[in-house]
């Protein structure tokens, strides 16, 4: 390119402009930030289901740790409602409600199946969780009633 410095600069700018004009425009938010599409952040669902989305055991465990934190937050929220349930029970003997537990387990098994989660894993997890919450609720009701 044997033109003046100014011509060279304009040519380079024109090329840059051309290259960005050819590229498909990324969707942006109203304030101009690039919208990251979900597929770019998380692996595609089938890969995740097949368990082939991670490159190392450490990466797998990072995902598991993050999910465990979400589960714990939901358990803390569940606990507040279990304590609320305790307020409506007149005695420790009324805390355990087998009919309610059976209904929860039936619902959880059906939902797990829809979500692609093993219903047996879901049932075992919920039975253990409800048993622990029930003991906690008994302590709470026992502290309030004779
Ligand atoms: O629903 C209630 O009555 C509760 O006290 C909550 C809960 C639960 O953890 O889901 C706990 C104890 C009962 O056995 C039934 C269910």
Q: What is the predicted pLDDT for the residue at 130?
A: 98
Q: What is the predicted pLDDT for the residue at 2?
A: 40
Higher pLDDT, 145 or 130: 130
Q: Which atom from ligand 1 is nearest to the alpha carbon of 98?
A: 14
pLDDT 10s digits, 32-83: 887 766 555 555 566 776 678 899 999 999 999 999 999 999 999 999 999 9
Residue 85 CA, ligand 1 centroid: distance in Å: 7
d(CA 99, CA 133): 16
pLDDT 10s digits, 77-129: 999 999 999 999 999 999 999 999 999 999 999 999 999 999 999 999 999 99
The highest-level CATH class for domain 68-144 is mainly alpha
Q: Which atom from ligand 1 is nearest to the alpha carbon of 104?
A: 10
Q: What is the predicted pLDDT for the residue at 25?
A: 72
Q: Does the complex come out with an ipTM higher than 0.90? A: yes
Work out the number of other CB atoms within 10 angstroms of the CB of residue 49: 11
CB < 8 Å & 24+ apart, contacts of 16-20 = none
- Check if the beta carbon of residue 29 is closer than 8 Å to that of residue 35: yes
Torsion of CA 130, 134, 136, 141, to 10 degrees: 150
Sorted by where each begins, the domain ranges of the chain are 68-144
Residue 140 CA, ligand 1 centroid: distance in Å: 13
Residue 142 has pLDDT above 70, yes or no: yes
Q: Give residue ranges with CB within 6 A of ligand 1.
A: 82, 85, 95-97, 100-101, 104, 130, 133-134, 137
């Amino acid at each position: 390119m044997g033109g003046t410095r100014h011509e060279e600069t304009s040519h380079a700018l024109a090329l840059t402009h051309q290259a960005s004009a050819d590229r498909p425009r990324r969707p942006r938010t109203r304030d101009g930030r690039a919208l990251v599409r979900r597929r770019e952040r998380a692996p595609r669902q089938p890969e995740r289901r097949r368990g082939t989305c991670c490159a190392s055991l450490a990466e797998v465990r990072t995902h598991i740790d993050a999910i465990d934190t979400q589960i714990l937050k939901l358990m803390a929220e569940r606990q507040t409602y279990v304590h609320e349930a305790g307020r409506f029970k007149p005695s420790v003997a009324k805390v355990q409600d087998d009919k309610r537990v059976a209904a929860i387990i039936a619902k959880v098994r059906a939902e797990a199946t829809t979500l692609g989660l093993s219903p047996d894993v879901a049932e075992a997890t919920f039975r253990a969780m409800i048993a622990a919450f029930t003991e906690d609720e008994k302590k709470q009701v026992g502290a309030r009633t004779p």
